[in-house]
Structure 1
Amino acid sequence: MAQQHLDPTDPTTGPVTGDALAGYLRAQATEFLRALRLHRETGGASGAEGTVDAALALRRSARRISASLHTFRPLLDAEWSEEMRPELAWLSGTLALEHACEARLERLLLALHRLSGAGVLPARTDGVAGRRAASPAGAVEKSRANGVAVGSRSAAARGAAPEGERAGGSRGRVGTAAPETAGPPSAPATPERGNLTVGAAKAGALLERQLTLARTRAHSTALQALGSSRFHAVADKVALLASEVPLTAAATAADLRPLARAAQERLTDAVTALPLVTAGHPYNAEALIHGLSPDPAPHPQDAPWHQVRLLLRLHRYAVEVLRGGNSTMDVRLLAAGQALNRHRDASEAAAAAAQAARTPRIAPATAYALGVLHADQRHEVEAARFAFQRAWQNT
């Protein structure tokens, strides 16, 4: 299948030298230090608006510096570059965990609400919403508190069994949705719909407990990382980078465009290797073959798509370097990146639902709801692949 090649350079411009790379790295290092100062001023409080913005800015700058060191490494001091890249990747990954847990919980509760067809339910009482009220996600959290979370009151109204009534020794398993689960909320409840709605309350509570605990641990890990000697060493190197970029002697006269083009070619090759023909069908049955497997390993089809997402990011940042950080990104590139982000989010949400379904001694209705949720998120994965295909091949 023919692929659409994305030109990483403006053909009307001439060679782009190492001075552009040095300017870009200095600018990103300055942004990193500014975000670090903001984070320290806010005290690192969980959910504080300034802290959330500062962590996001730190991650953004760390990713761009690390990506530039990777793409243009022949023009930079090799020892310094190879020492910096893994440290920046460690920092970016550590800071991303807390936001990822919160976004994953948000996504799963929204999906449970949609799948159960429940109405507006009581606000959550776990205090998490209050701690995030000042954050940019506060508006979404308020929406979830008002009507997204599948609450226990609805389950009780439908005759949910007490939590103590478990199937002895049974373990939750990931399943697939029964065809009768679809339908308007006002329609009479079928047995499948009843099982989903009853189980959805407990499934939502189980997911909330697990992911809130994971989020709390991720926040503590991030605070420990930002106070560690390892982070201070990274910050010191970034501070030096803001004033002096260790370019090689030949970098000032070298053209950056061949290296940027190589990053684009790696992306194109990776996309060519994807099963785009299969993904052309929004619901790819082949991708669901391993959906019931007890193996907790990541889904076998997801890894190549995650790799393409990383290569697309490297390509985007290379374009930023060539255009001085002020590039107007191709709409196809933006659409492709958004589709791959949705793919990653749905894939990780499906894995979280599957992990929750492996919790020992959960009620059958809870396991059923988690199975439907897992299948729903795998369908979202397939829809994201289909969207990426259309964006990439759009002429």
Structure 2
Amino acid sequence: MAQQHLDPTDPLAGPVSGDALAGYLRAQATEFLRALRRHRETGGEGSPAARTKPRPGENSSPAAVDAARALRRSARRISGTLHTFRPLLDPDWSEAMRPELAWLSGTLAREHAYAARQERLLLALHRLSGSSAFPAQSAMPGRAAGSLGTTEPGAGPRDRSGGIPERGQLTVGAAKAGALLERQLTLARTRAHSAALQALGSSRFHAVADSVAVLASEVPLAPAATTADLRPPAAAAEERLGDAVAALPLITAGHPYNAEALVHGLSADTAPQPQDAPWHQVRLLLRLHRYAREVLYGEEAPVDVHLLHAGRALHRHRDAAEAASAAASAARTPRIAPATAYALGVLHADQRHEVEAARFAFQQSWAKETVHAP
């Protein structure tokens, strides 16, 4: 990644002291506590509703969902900042806090992930079978409607009107595949919801919340932080990101439907796609880079449009890769009908196409980022 040279009018032209780090961590800790209070007030942990076992498919209130998302966001930012600037923080405290915050954000994220995966896969099944999308939903942007009657990637509709063609009811295979996915992912979502409620009521979570409450008023900086400059650790995070992008398998990933990307698809091997791991790593490193920029710039952090687009592409990549894995897992269900397995296979291939499209979008965004970096 090209290094950016700061001009004299840039707020980062001079050293950035440890006070900026302390202020950022205090602000994120305060946001965490506010989100926790909202979550409890809207039926989260501590209320009678939170102690009730959820029914399959049960949705939390929008306010509770927003509060849980804010909790995750603050926990991720605190954890990421502790990682990037760990030489400037009390080592025992930061090393104890980071895994606890990662546990919390990961636990809270699972229910939303399963719900989004279910919606994504069912919409894709409707699109691929040529039926109408769900009410108040439209086809996913940037993709043409195909047919479950062909395995040709990206096959377009016969209808030239620009809309999704009406082809009657879903095929038997697609309908059964959708029912199987909905059953499996609803069960996973329900379990994730229960796990999140149990976590928010646990002594482990209360210990995390107590530590964050202390952080809101007192940041345990290392003695060297008072005279340190925050720019070198932030630059190191940017360099790690650039190195990870440079190591991406861009040549193989450039083929829209390469055989290596599918070699583990519907086989008995349940290991993740080997191509996906470095892309997931880049997504995490990009997040750390963004958080480091927030620390340096404070509330006036400029929005880097190219980094924003690159991050969105990597989120799409993660979502499509996990959706493809869910389709492949469902296809390995014992004793399912051949038509159902076929529909799931086409769905898996469709989501792997989405993975390739997201990789291409990331490459385009990253190329613009490096060109614009002076």
TM-score bracket relative to the smaller structure: 0.7 to 0.9
CA distance in 2, matches of 1:354, 1:329: 38
In the alignment, what sits opposite 1:182? 155
2:279 to 279, 301, 305: 305
Q: Deviations over 1:352-383 (max 9, x none)?
A: 00111111111111111000000000111111
In the alignment, what sits opposite 1:101? 114
Change (3 A) 1:10 1:353: farther
In the alignment, what sits opposite 1:289? 263
Gaps of at least 5 residues in structure 1 are 122-141, 149-174, 188-192
Task: Please tell me whether residue 231 in structure 1 is matched to residue 205 in structure 2.
Answer: yes
Partner AA of 1:19 in structure 2: D
Partner AA of 1:279 in structure 2: A
Task: Please tell me whether residue 251 in structure 1 is matched to residue 229 in structure 2.
Answer: no
Partner AA of 2:37 in structure 1: R
CA distance in 2, matches of 1:372, 1:6: 43
Task: Please tell me whether residue 5 in structure 1 is matched to residue 2 in structure 2.
Answer: yes
Q: Structure 1 stretch 264-273 or stretch 111-120: which is displaced more? A: 111-120
In the alignment, what sits opposite 1:334? 308
Task: Please tell me whether residue 392 in structure 1 is matched to residue 366 in structure 2.
Answer: yes
Change (3 A) 1:367 1:35: same
Q: Deviations over 1:52-76 (max 9, x none)?
A: 0100000000000000000000000
Q: Structure 1 stretch 197-206 or stretch 277-286: which is displaced more? A: 277-286
> Given the two structures, how large is their TM-score scaled by the length of structure 1?
0.81
Change (3 A) 1:195 1:353: farther
Q: Tell me if the contact between 2:266 and 2:331 (Cα under 8 Å) persists in the aligned partners.
A: no
Size of the aligned set, in residue pairs, is 339
In the alignment, what sits opposite 2:41? 41
Task: Please tell me whether residue 216 in structure 1 is matched to residue 190 in structure 2.
Answer: yes
Q: Tell me if the contact between 1:29 and 1:241 (Cα under 8 Å) persists in the aligned partners.
A: yes
Task: Please tell me whether residue 17 in structure 1 is matched to residue 30 in structure 2.
Answer: no
Deviation at residue 294 of structure 1 after TM alignment: 1.4
Deviation at residue 194 of structure 1 after TM alignment: 10
CA distance in 2, matches of 1:84, 1:220: 24
CA distance in 2, matches of 1:200, 1:50: 35
Report which structure shows greater RCO (CA 8 Å, sep ≥6).
1
In the alignment, what sits opposite 1:113? 126
Q: Share of identical aligned residues, percent? A: 76
> Given the two structures, how large is their TM-score scaled by the length of structure 2?
0.85
Change (3 A) 1:118 1:18: same
Q: Deviations over 1:290-330 (max 9, x none)?
A: 32321011111111110110000000000000001431221
1:82 to 95, 106, 115: 95
What SS does structure 2 have at the residue aligned with 1:319? helix
Deviation at residue 119 of structure 1 after TM alignment: 2.8
Q: Tell me if the contact between 2:266 and 2:332 (Cα under 8 Å) persists in the aligned partners.
A: no
CA distance in 2, matches of 1:29, 1:253: 23
What SS does structure 2 have at the residue aligned with 1:323? helix
Deviation at residue 176 of structure 1 after TM alignment: 11
Change (3 A) 1:195 1:351: farther
Q: Structure 1 stretch 247-256 or stretch 78-87: which is displaced more? A: 247-256
CA distance in 1, matches of 2:150, 2:319: 20
Deviation at residue 186 of structure 1 after TM alignment: 5.9
1:353 to 322, 327, 332: 327
Change (3 A) 1:280 1:178: closer
Root mean square deviation of aligned Cα: 2.4
Partner AA of 1:75 in structure 2: L
CA distance in 2, matches of 1:332, 1:180: 29
CA distance in 2, matches of 1:290, 1:120: 30
CA distance in 1, matches of 2:174, 2:251: 35
Gaps of at least 5 residues in structure 2 are 50-58, 140-147, 161-166
Change (3 A) 1:386 1:240: same
Change (3 A) 1:177 1:89: farther
CA distance in 1, matches of 2:17, 2:150: 56
